[in-house]
């Protein structure tokens, strides 16, 4: 079908998940210093889950490695961002 | 320069096997240089998502005559539309050409699927003699006495030495930053593209878009399509699929609190788009950033031992009528390779010699094009041109065509009334007309 939910979209993408996270979020900073929570809206993989206490729950496994969260986040040090190890991470087949 | 073990010493190290990197590696290898092309993906193209219409056919044809006969291309573009959208209507400028260069060799543009196309292009570099190493992430540059002398790959004994490093590592270029050539970006300088490849029977594609054989279309959409987010949308035909996506400025997504994939769903549901995608099946969803600000985000392009090309250098023309990155990536990659070849002849890899890159970029029309269009991005990628005016055109046409028993208004009074009803001031409108003219006409 043409109209799809976000879950259905993500199921079409192939990820080879590495053992170590390439992105680490410091939820302390999200909780104490951030009112915008930009990452929650912009991430095309919807990987940033806001918690009741204002913090963020993040899982790196289905990440497009696009860098959007890193540029959108306005809090120094909240996101530690790098690429996964060679050959790991997202592997597009059609795009 | 110190000498290093021969197996770890190259003339040219190219980082990133996108169109910039593979073109650079191909040309340098053909000149007889010892070239290493490093790519972090499992294969070249594994990390790369774009539209994608490749407008660099003539450039590639100089390197590989009749390249399209052997490359994984989808369709050649004979029809381009620019559509202005309101939430329920669309007004399109429809360009069709069966003319020379569009429907005939070397063709003006081809749709491609990047994981296939990039892989093929890197294989051409390999065939020309370059060493291609995939699954290799470059984490840093190596320096000796202030000169860049190689790169560090994330693995045991990952130090690799080269006389010139060409950074073709794309929009997020860590290399340009590590070398001190690029600053951090602002969210208004980048746009996020989210995209889908939707499978559809080739016979349906031909019927639906009035195409014969391998003709293809490229449609771009402006206006209410991204709601109040600054951006646009696109839809292209492949052989047996459609590529479509929505592009939104990152700062504007944040301000409006819009999720990109929800905009994508709304795009597909628009009454002018839904019939085009009907019956299709999602094959792959993807996302990637676009450097939207062109000239304004250009890094310093060279330093002792290193050059920067492609998206890493901001050479992506994303401004209303244009979304061209792959062709400029390739041209700048070639200009970088020419510079590296020149430096090898001189056996001098200092910034003073590598400054020849500027001349080579000019000769390949890269810097001249970006200079000419330097006013376009910041203005065109703004709210009035991307959202407001296109939507007004669509709404205006709706009023012109509507027959409902009320008196017919002529176009000028109608326009006047629409401007009056909008938030735009007449003076602003005139200034914008001037800006558009300055951006595109002279
Ligand atoms: C949604 C969307 C639609 C677009 N549509 C079009 C279009 O229709 N036509 C067009 O011409 N352009 C289009 N573009 C722009 C185009 O995709 C880019 O301008 C072009 O891909 C730039 O080529 P490049 O070689 O400079 O960089 P990329 O294609 O991004 O290649 C960079 C390569 O470097 C690798 N890499 C990065 N970092 C490292 C590292 N540290 N170590 C090793 N390898 C690394 C990456 O894996 C990648 O393979 C579009 C872009 C997007 C996002
Ligand atoms: S935008 Fe940055 S600081 Fe704010 S919640 Fe997201 S990651 Fe945390
Ligand atoms: S890099 Fe992109 S996909 Fe990955 S977490 Fe950040 S925004 Fe989401």
Q: pLDDT digits over B103-130, tens only?
A: 788 898 999 999 999 999 999 999 999 9
Per-residue pLDDT tens digits for A15-32: 999 999 999 999 999 999
The predicted pLDDT at position B368 comes to 87
Q: List beta partners, residue B58.
A: none
Extract the tokens encoding B252: 């504007």
Residues 6+ apart with CB under 8 A from B59: B327, B330, B331, B334
Name the residue ranges covered by the structural domains of chain B. 6-63+114-184+293-364, 191-290, 378-441
Query: What separation in angstroms does the CA of A85 have from each of B40, B150, B161, B247, B397?
Result: 8, 19, 21, 28, 53
Calculate mean pLDDT across residues A27-49.
Answer: 96
Instruction: Give the closest of B115, B171, B280 to A92, CB-based.
Output: B115
Residue B162 three-state SS: strand
* A19 shares contact with chain B (CB less than 8 Å): no
DSSP-derived letter for residue B386 is I
Extract the tokens encoding A82: 């790098």
Give the whole-angstrom CA distance, residue B141 versus residue B143.
7
Q: How many CB atoms lie within 10 A of CB B397?
A: 15
Residue B367 three-state SS: helix
Extract the tokens encoding B134: 């995939």
**A67·B154 Cβ contact <8 A:** no
The predicted pLDDT at position B101 comes to 73
A23 ligand 2 Cβ < 6 A: no
What A30-35 contacts at long range (C-beta under 8 Å, 24+ apart), as own/partner pairs, is: A30/A54, A30/A55, A30/A56, A30/A75, A30/A78, A31/A55, A31/A56, A33/A75, A33/A78, A34/A73, A34/A74, A34/A75, A34/A78
CATH assignment of A6-91, given 1.20.120.450, 3.40.50.261, 3.30.70.20, 3.40.50.1000? 3.30.70.20
Do B6-63+114-184+293-364 and B191-290 fold alike per CATH?
A: no
Extract the tokens encoding B378: 């910041």
Question: Mutual orientation of helices B356-363 and B326-346 as an angle, nearest 10°?
Answer: 140
Distance from CA of A94 to the nearest CA of B (A): 6
The predicted pLDDT at position B74 comes to 97
Distance from CA of A44 to the nearest CA of B (A): 6
Q: List beta partners, residue B161.
A: B9, B150
- pTM (two decimals): 0.93
User: Phi then psi for B434, rounded to 5 degrees?
Assistant: -60, -45
Give the whole-angstrom CA distance, residue B169 versus residue B154.
15
Q: What is the mean pLDDT of each run of 10 residues along chain B (442 residues)?
A: 65 98 98 98 98 94 96 94 87 80 86 98 98 98 96 95 98 96 93 97 96 92 87 96 96 95 96 96 98 86 98 88 91 98 97 97 91 72 74 80 80 80 79 74 70
CATH number of B191-290: 3.30.70
Chain B neighbors of A64, CB-CB under 8 A: 49, 286-288
| Cα-to-centroid distance, B288 and ligand 2 (Å) | 20
Confidence of residue A70 (pLDDT cuts 50, 70, 90): very high
Per-residue pLDDT tens digits for B254-298: 999 999 999 999 999 999 999 999 999 999 999 999 998 878 888
Query: What separation in angstroms does the CA of B141 have from each of A84, B138, B370?
Result: 18, 8, 28
Give the whole-angstrom CA distance, residue B138 versus residue B387.
40
Q: Which of B18, B42, B285 to mutate to test the interface with A (most CBs of A within 10 A)?
A: B285
Instruction: Give the closest of A9, A68, A72 to B285, CB-based.
Output: A9
**Under 8 Å between Cβ of A73 and A39:** yes
* DSSP for B211-278, written as a single string: --TTEEEEEEEEEGGGTTSSEEEEEEE-SSEEEEEEEEEHHHHHHHT--HHHHHHHHHHSTTTHHHHT
Classify each residue of B101-113 as buried b or exposed e, where b means 16 or more C-beta atoms within 10 Å of its C-beta. ebbeebbbbbbbb
N-term to C-term CA, chain B? 47
A24 ligand 2 Cβ < 6 A: no
With a cut of 0.85, is the ipTM above it? Answer: yes
CATH architecture of B6-63+114-184+293-364: 3-Layer(bba) Sandwich (3.50)
**B250·A8 Cβ contact <8 A:** no
N-term to C-term CA, chain A? 18
Give the whole-angstrom CA distance, residue B121 versus residue B126.
9
Calculate mean pLDDT across residues A29-55.
Answer: 95
Name the residue ranges covered by the structural domains of chain A. 6-91
Q: Which of B16, B44, B46 to mutate to test the interface with A (most CBs of A within 10 A)?
A: B46
Sign of the CA dihedral with B144 first, then B167, B116, and B341 last:
negative
The predicted pLDDT at position A30 comes to 96
**B154·A66 Cβ contact <8 A:** no
Mutate to test the pocket of ligand 3, among A9, A24, A46, A67 (most ligand atoms within 8 A of CB): A67
Go through chain B and tell me how many residues it has: 442
Query: What separation in angstroms does the CA of B366 have from each of A36, B121, B330, B341, B380?
Result: 38, 21, 10, 19, 20
Nearest to A57 by CA among A93, A30, A87: A30
Closest A-chain CA to B278: A2
């Amino acid at each position: 079908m043409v109209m799809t939910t976000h879950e259905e979209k993500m199921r079409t993408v192939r990820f080879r998940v590495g053992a170590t996270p390439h992105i680490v979020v410091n939820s302390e900073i999200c909780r104490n210093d951030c009112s915008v929570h930009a990452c929650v809206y912009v991430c095309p993989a919807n990987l940033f889950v806001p918690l009741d206490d204002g913090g963020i729950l993040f899982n790196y496994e289905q990440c497009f490695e696009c860098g959007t969260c890193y540029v959108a986040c306005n809090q120094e040090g909240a996101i530690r961002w790098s690429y996964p190890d060679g050959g790991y991470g997202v592997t597009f087949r059609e795009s | 320069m110190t000498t290093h073990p021969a197996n770890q010493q190259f003339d040219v190290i190219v980082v990133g096997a996108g169109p910039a990197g593979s073109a650079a590696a191909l040309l340098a290898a053909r000149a007889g240089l010892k070239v290493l092309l490093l790519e972090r993906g499992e294969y070249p193209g594994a990390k790369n998502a774009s539209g994608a219409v490749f407008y660099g056919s003539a450039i590639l044809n100089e390197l590989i005559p009749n390249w399209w006969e052997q490359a994984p291309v989808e369709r050649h573009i004979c029809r381009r539309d620019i559509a202005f959208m309101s939430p329920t209507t669309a007004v399109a400028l429809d360009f069709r050409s069966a003319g020379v260069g569009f429907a005939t060799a070397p063709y003006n543009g081809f749709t491609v699927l990047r994981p296939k196309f990039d892989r093929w292009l890197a294989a051409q570099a390999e065939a020309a003699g370059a060493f291609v190493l995939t699954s290799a992430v470059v984490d840093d540059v190596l320096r000796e006495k202030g000169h860049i002398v190689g790169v560090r790959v994330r693995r045991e004994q990952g130090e690799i030495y080269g006389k010139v490093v060409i950074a073709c590592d794309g929009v997020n270029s860590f290399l340009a930053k590590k070398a001190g050539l690029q600053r951090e970006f602002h969210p208004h300088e980048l746009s996020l593209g989210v995209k889908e490849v939707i499978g559809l029977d080739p016979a349906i594609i031909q019927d639906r878009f009035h195409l014969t054989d391998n003709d293809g279309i490229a449609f771009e959409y402006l206006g209410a399509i991204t709601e109040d987010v600054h951006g646009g949308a696109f839809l292209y035909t492949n052989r047996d699929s459609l590529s479509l996506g929505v592009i939104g400025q990152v700062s504007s997504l944040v301000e409006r609190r819009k999720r990109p994939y929800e905009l994508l769903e709304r795009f597909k549901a628009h009454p002018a788009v839904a019939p085009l995608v009907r019956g299709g099946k999602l094959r792959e969803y993807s996302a990637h950033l676009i450097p939207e600000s062109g000239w304004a985000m250009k890094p310093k392009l060279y330093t002792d031992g290193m050059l920067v090309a492609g998206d890493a250098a901001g050479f992506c023309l994303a401004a209303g009528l244009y979304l061209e990155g792959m062709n400029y990536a390739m041209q700048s990659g070639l200009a970088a390779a020419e510079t590296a070849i020149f430096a090898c002849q001189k056996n001098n890899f200092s910034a003073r010699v590598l400054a020849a890159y500027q001349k080579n970029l000019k000769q390949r029309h890269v810097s001249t094009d970006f200079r000419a269009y330097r006013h376009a991005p910041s203005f065109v990628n703004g709210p009035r041109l991307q959202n407001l005016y296109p939507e007004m055109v669509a709404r205006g046409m709706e009023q012109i065509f509507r027959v409902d028993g009320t008196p017919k208004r002529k176009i000028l009074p109608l326009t006047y009334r629409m401007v009056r009803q909008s938030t735009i001031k007449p003076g602003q409108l005139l200034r914008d007309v001037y800006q558009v003219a300055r951006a595109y006409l002279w």
